């Protein structure tokens, strides 16, 4: 057993996230005699360091700005597994959103939430507007979660058990939540299937193929196909200097991100959003769904729809207010 390093916080104390952005955790299989040198390397790249274990198995935790170095240190002496990286700055922002959502007045629940069906849907979402859209598309259960505030298997299980059906499809709407959702089926007598949606717009697209009177396997197949046909994009703001294939990224820059990575880096929100649309929307596309989040404004959205009308006239823009944190715009293109 190894105590936290002298001068460092223990695992429960995150300190000032403005200093070190990422929390990296993993299990490490490595010889016990290699651990002191490993901890020396970690002491040079971060704080809040905890390395506990023994007999070749170690549980490792660090706050750092250098994700790569924190993992490479483990690879040099052994085999890391179950690696988890949390963006602490985004986590603080989403925790604020969750606290505010918890104290907000409860919305009137749609009648269909308690109507028995053959197959129900549970979705993970943040933002009051997004929740309303999911409910309008037939979702019976919604679990709060997002980029860093990932719900637990127990929270998803609770929503599944409350759903008025023996078959339940889960829409994780985030790649980090997919493996958590896949654990639910083993803990319930219900039949639970996961449609591996990686974003909100994929979740919306999947629901267009949802049939509450069809059984779970048939729904999961159709909904997975529908989600796969959507081109997804998102716009967010850089909180630290960095770089990508397009060049340097400065703190405060707006990033347009597609499934294959960063497609736009601009100092202006509208410029980043239109550049992303130019990259993702083809002349053959027919629908562009724009979901406004925190930071979006009517004037900015109008510039996006006017750009689409001029440069992609075959596509119809559909605008929804989602209210999601961190991402002023989410795009779904079909």
What one-character-per-residue DSSP string does 70-110 give?
A: HHHHHHTTSEEEEEEEEEHHHHHHHHHHHHHHHHSPPPPPP
Better-predicted residue by pLDDT, 86 or 171: 171
Lowest mean pLDDT among 3-17, 87-101, 158-172, 189-203: 3-17
Separation between Cα atoms, residue 254 and residue 272, nearest integer Å: 6
Distance, first Cα to last Cα, the chain: 54
Indicate whether 312 pLDDT > 50: yes
Contacts of 219 (CB under 8 A, 6+ apart): 119, 167, 169, 193, 209, 210, 211
Query: Phi and psi (nearest 5°) for 148?
Result: -115, -20
Quote the pLDDT of residue 114. 80
For the four alpha carbons of 143, 175, 225 and 126, in that order, the dihedral sign comes to positive
Q: Mean pLDDT over residues 33-37, rounded? A: 94
Q: In what order do the strands lie in the sheet with 231-237?
A: 261-266, 254-258, 231-237, 329-333, 287-292, 316-321
Tell me which of 87-91, 171-175, 183-187, 204-208 is least confident.
87-91
Residue 9 pLDDT more than 60?
A: no
Query: pLDDT tens-digit profile of 247-305?
Result: 999 999 999 999 889 999 999 999 999 999 999 999 999 999 999 988 898 999 999 99
Q: What is the mean pLDDT of residues 42-51?
A: 87
Q: Which of 75-89, 102-116, 226-240 has the highest mean pLDDT?
A: 226-240
Exposure string of 211-244, with b = 16+ CB inside 10 Å and e = fewer, is ebebebeebbebbbebbeebbbbbbbebbeeeee
Residue-level pLDDT at 137: 87
Assign 308 to helix, strand or coil: helix
Give CA–CA dist 119/204, Å, rounded. Answer: 17
pLDDT greater than 70 at residue 15:
no
Residues 6+ apart with CB under 8 A from 304: 270, 273, 274, 277, 290, 317, 329
pLDDT at 252: 92
> What is the DSSP secondary structure assignment for residue 326, as one 8-state letter?
S
| 3-class state of residue 316 by DSSP | strand
Which residues make beta-bridge pairs with 256? 235, 264
pLDDT band, residue 10 (cuts 50/70/90): very low
Given a cut of 50, whether residue 3 has pLDDT beyond it is no
User: Smallest Cα–Cα separation from 263: which of 239, 246, 287?
Assistant: 246
User: In this predicted structure, what is the pLDDT of residue 150?
Assistant: 78
Mean pLDDT confidence for 89-108 = 54
Average predicted confidence (pLDDT) for the chain: 85
Mean pLDDT of 204-226: 94
* Per-residue pLDDT tens digits for 142-190: 998 765 567 889 999 999 999 999 999 999 998 889 999 999 999 999 9
For residues 81-107, average pLDDT: 61
The dihedral built from the CA positions of residue 122, 128, 130 and 136, taken in this order, carries a sign that is: positive
What confidence tier does 94 reach under pLDDT thresholds 50, 70, 90? low
Please state the pTM of the whole predicted model: 0.63
Contact indicator for 57, 125 with CB cutoff of 8 Å: no
Give the HSE-up count for residue 249: Cα atoms under 13 Å, Cβ half-sphere: 21
The model's confidence at residue 325, banded by pLDDT at 50, 70 and 90, is confident
């Amino acid at each position: 057993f190894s105590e936290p390093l002298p001068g460092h916080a223990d695992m429960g104390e995150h300190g000032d996230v403005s200093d070190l952005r990422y929390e990296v955790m993993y299990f490490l299989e490595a010889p016990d005699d290699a651990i002191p040198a490993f901890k020396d390397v970690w002491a040079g790249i971060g704080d809040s360091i905890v390395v506990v274990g023994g007999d070749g198995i170690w549980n490792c935790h660090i706050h750092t700005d250098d994700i790569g170095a924190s993992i490479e240190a483990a690879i040099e002496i052994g085999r890391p597994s179950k690696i988890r990286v949390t963006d602490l700055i985004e986590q603080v922002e989403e925790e604020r959103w969750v606290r505010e959502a918890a104290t907000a007045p409860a919305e009137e629940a749609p009648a269909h939430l308690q109507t028995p069906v053959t197959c129900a849907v549970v979705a993970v979402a943040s933002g009051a507007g997004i929740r309303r859209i999911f409910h309008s598309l037939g979702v019976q259960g919604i679990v709060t979660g997002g980029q860093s505030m990932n719900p637990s298997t127990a929270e998803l299980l609770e929503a599944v058990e409350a759903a008025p059906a023996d078959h339940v499809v889960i829409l994780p709407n985030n790649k980090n939540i997919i493996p958590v959702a896949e654990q639910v089926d083993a803990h319930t007598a219900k039949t639970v299937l996961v449609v591996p949606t990686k974003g909100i717009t994929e979740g919306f697209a999947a629901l267009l193929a949802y049939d509450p009177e069809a059984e779970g396997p048939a729904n999961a197949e159709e909904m997975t196909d529908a989600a796969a046909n959507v081109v997804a994009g998102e716009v967010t703001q850089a909180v630290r200097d960095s770089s990508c294939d397009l060049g340097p990224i400065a703190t405060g820059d707006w990033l347009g991100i597609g499934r294959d990575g960063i497609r736009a880096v601009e100092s202006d929100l509208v410029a980043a959003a239109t550049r992303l649309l130019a990259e993702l929307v083809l002349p053959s596309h027919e629908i562009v769904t724009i979901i406004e989040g925190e930071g979006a404004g009517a004037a900015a959205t109008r510039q996006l729809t006017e750009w689409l009308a001029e440069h992609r006239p075959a596509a119809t823009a559909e605008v929804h207010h989602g209210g999601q944190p961190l991402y002023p715009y989410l795009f779904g293109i079909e």
